[in-house]
Structure formats: C-alpha cells, structure tokens
Structure 1
C-alpha cells in the first residue's frame, strides 16, 4: 500500500506546476479509497478460495454481490440515515463502497455470509469435464490382429499354408 506524498515543499520552489501536483495528490487519494473496505484473499485448497472483507456497520441487505463475465462486484450502500445522532468521534466508516475482483475462468461463487462485521465470499474453480485434461490409453499392438500381419512366420503343413 502506498502512502500519500506531501507536495508542499514542491509548491514553494516551483511555479505553474500546481495543477500537476493536485492531480498527483488526487490520484493517491483515489488509490487509498480503492483499498476500502480492507479485504483478504486466501487460497483454501487446490481449487478453493476465500475473500474476507471488513464491512463493520453494514447489514446483509445493504451489501450486494454480483458475478458477471469473469468479475465479482461487491457493493455496499448504507440505508437510512444517522439523523438525530451526534458523534463526538466517528471512526467506523459507513460510506458506500464498490470493489471489483477479476476471476479466472470457471471460478464461481459458492457461498457468502456476513458475521461479526466480516463478509466472507467462498469461491471454487469448477472446470467442466469436457475441458479437463484426460489420459489417453496407448495400445501395445498385442490386442490388434490383422490377417497376414501378425509378424509370425507362416506354417506349412502337408503342402498347404496354414
């Protein structure tokens, strides 16, 4: 994770670059927003994965999971308002979020749950049988016989070929 840079020393020693520094500052802010909410991606087995997202304060009705065209989209939008509440300190973020995970071919969401402020999404790679590698048996030639091609010398009995 990158940290924000302080461009103020550059403002003091340059003229006319303020727009460039503002764009750089905005890009670092957008990058930090893309990392919210924090999440883990774990490999649980050969073809099983687990995404865990910290979404404290959100209910299952306020979170939507959508899988489409090789992507998993996780969005969260708080419903209702905090009217009438007066916060002395507000450290639990309740802002809307949108997180996109790119999925490999044949990876499907098999389950999702929300417990203790953690959203857990289970994924599994399910390759169709037709696309799985298959072993092809090679015959040794012993099982295949054709007339006159068995590599055995012909026996002749009483003047006739056997």
Structure 2
C-alpha cells in the first residue's frame, strides 16, 4: 500500500491546519463500514446525512457536535436473550461515525423514521462573509458612498 506524505502541506499552508488534518484523516479512513450512510446535497446551503440504523431506538442513539465534528454513535441495550440462533445476520453492535463539518454548517434537525436516521444540516454564512458587489464609478460622478437625507442637508 502506498502512503502519502502530507508534511509538505503542513510546512507551506499557514493557517490551514484543519484542512491539512482533514485531508490526512480522509486518506487514512476506510471506506464502507457500519452503519451505511448517504450524504445528500438538497440545495446550495442544505445537506442531509442519512444513516441506516435499523434496530436502534431514539434513546440508543447519540449525536454530538464539537468543534465542527459531528459524531453519531449508537449503543444497543441488551434486550434480546442469547438464544440458540442457527444464523445471526442482524448486527447487534454499537457504532460511531464522525463527519467533519465545514465552517458555518449547523445541525438543525435529527429524526428517526423507518430505521433511518436523518440529520439535516444548513450552512449559514454570516452577512459579513458573503460576497458583495462594489460599484465602479467614473471620474466626475457622485461618490460611491451615498449619504442619507439628513447628512445631505448638513452638507448643503
């Protein structure tokens, strides 16, 4: 197996520590796993994570967000008796899934229905961070910043 050395990124990317760590984590994580999940882009600023958690009740699932890391875990309570199974294909184990969230992405709702855990997320970019259009004016035109009526009266 080939390993990638991310140390040049750490040396040349000042202030991008989280990005470099996310790349390194993504490279090392194994695909697949339990439980299976989908990540859906619903529109430009809304996302949905759906995990197949059949057999888990709401009180056996835990969601936690800490420092842009969403952790979903489940621990089954021992309700089934250990019987004489000829075949046991239904998983009866706990799990933990972690999702790295981008800046300004918030969890807005989580609901469990028909064995699927739906986690709705929304990206709420502050007004100060949104792009804004700056009008370009030629010479001899009024100033780009217009004053309110009360300030214009003071100037006149």
String of CA shifts for 1:45-79, please: whole Å, max 9, x gaps.
11111111111100011000111111100000012
What SS is found at the alignment partner of 1:44? strand
Partner of 2:142: 143
1:67 aligns with 2:65: yes
Q: How big is the shift at 1:31?
A: 4.1
RMSD: 2.0
* Contact 1:58-1:94 at 8 Å conserved across structures: no
Relative to the length of structure 1, the TM-score reads 0.64
Q: TM-score, normalised by structure 2?
A: 0.66
Residues 39 and 54, structure 1, Cα contact 8 Å, conserved in 2: yes
Correspondence 1:1-162 to 2 at 5 A: 31=30, 35-83=33-81, 85-140=83-138, 141-143=140-142
Closer, same or farther: CA 84–99 of 1 in aligned 2, 3 Å: closer
Alignment size in residue pairs: 114
Compared CA separation, residues 109 and 87, structure 1 to 2 (3 A): same
* Structure with bigger gyration radius: 1
Moved over 4 A (4+): none
In structure 2, stretches of 5+ residues that fail to align are: 1-28, 144-156
Alignment gaps of 5+ in structure 1: 1-29, 145-162
